[in-house]
Chain A
Amino acid sequence: MGQLQNFTKGFVKDNPVFVLLLGLCPALGVTTSAFNGLGMGLATTFVLVSSNIVVSLIKDLIPTKVRIPSFIVVIASFVTITDLVMEAYVPALYDSLGLFIPLIVVNCLVMGRAEAFASKNDTWSAIVDGMGMGLGFAFALTMLGGLREILGAGELFGWSLFAGDGMLVFVLAPGAFIGLGYLVALNNIVKKKLD
């Protein structure tokens, strides 16, 4: 597989949220606005790329039996770094993402790529894979956040699109599930068209 394909597979074909249904907790929990979705997506991308690099570098050093705990420690260290950096430099975003920043550590997407890809490939491919999957995740979260923000508040990235209040239910919990349901259906149709 070429590096370009390796990179672009995360957007539609193997999109972590829409197709693989991984990392749904943050995808539903933080996407009350497009900006929050993008912020969470980029934070996850950072953790994913960094842990992919380290895992692909140490893959020959760790015995197979203890690989899962070792990966967890690597991932948890990068999550702690992200947590502290975000608290210091983007406190507003940090507050609105809240609990979901430490929970990146149990995001099945990060663990899944470490186990399925980074532990079997060279560092360069692992970086490209992490970037592709991470940005695909950010793309999905921004789409869902944008959809909920437009329908729920009549805004996009904080800019007012139309007057009035919008449907509040899309900002609240039910809107997350319903919005994601329709986006997954849309992605199924687009994927079929592309094939």
Chain B
Amino acid sequence: MEYIVIIIGAVFVNNIVLAQFLGICPYLGVSARVSTSIGMSGAVMFVMTLATLVTFLIFNYILIPFNIEYLQTISYILVVASLVQMVEIILKKVSPALYQALGIFLPLIVTNCAILGVTILAVREDFGFNLLEGVVFAIGNALGFALTIILFAGIREHLELMDVPKGMRGAPAALVVAGILALAFMGFANLV
């Protein structure tokens, strides 16, 4: 039950993109087509879950015992970067098909602030997550990212056919659409 609450909270109430403003770059950058946004969501879910698992262990079993919590930012970004590299190499060997699908999105994920943001949030004291809850939290956030980016890509495919005023074409119209989506997601506030 607890895990379901964490997932619903992460997907709908505190949506990572529309309420917390993390991962906006891929949200705007790779949402022109539904198919690419599905690929990106898959890559994000994979890396986000793994990164949270690894950084959670590093934070609690290395940084805290040695009293070096101020190295959090540096160690986390290195973990994320090397993890992405490792996943890329393993995927290339083990599953070429999946590598084909996710390949181009993997390097982009290193500078996806959603990953670093979730790994930092997962060890926040006020949440007090244990390892399993932290991983569920990461999966929930990745699902939230997937839901919003796929919805957004669907809308953008239709937006291309519309007659948008000249100055608003491209990014401005997309941002306003994202605003309206955020407005819709505000309806989920206080759900859990």
Chain A residues proximal to chain B, CB less than 8 Å: 21-22, 24-26, 28-29, 68-69, 72-73, 76-77, 79-80, 83-84, 99, 102-103, 105-108, 111, 169, 172-178, 180-182, 184-186, 188-189
Contact = CB atoms under 8 A, between A and B. Distances in A.
Q: Label chain A's interface by main secondary structure.
A: helix
Contacts of B18: 173
Given A76-B77, A107-B113, 15 more contacts: A21-B28, A24-B25, A72-B77, A80-B73, A102-B72, A102-B73, A103-B117, A111-B111, A174-B186, A177-B179, A177-B182, A181-B173, A181-B176, A181-B178, A181-B179
B172 A25 contact: no
B74 A182 contact: no
Contacts of B19: 173
A160 to B, nearest CB: 26
Contacts of A108: 25, 111
Nearest to A172: B186
A29 B78 CA distance: 24
13 contacts: A24-B25, A24-B28, A25-B23, A28-B21, A83-B70, A103-B22, A103-B116, A103-B117, A174-B179, A181-B171, A181-B172, A185-B168, A185-B172
A67 to B, nearest CB: 13
Contacts of A24: 21, 24-25, 28
B20 A29 contact: yes
A105 B78 CA distance: 11
B192 interface: no
Closest 7 CB pairs of A and B: A177-B179, A181-B175, A29-B21, A178-B179, A185-B172, A181-B176, A174-B183
Contacts of A178: 175-176, 179-180
B120 interface: yes
Interface core residue of A28, A83, A84 (most chain B CB under 10 Å): A28
Contacts of B65: none
A181 B20 CA distance: 18
B55 to A, nearest CB: 12
Contacts of A185: 167-168, 172
Interface core residue of B22, B28, B121 (most chain A CB under 10 Å): B22
Contacts of A182: 172, 176
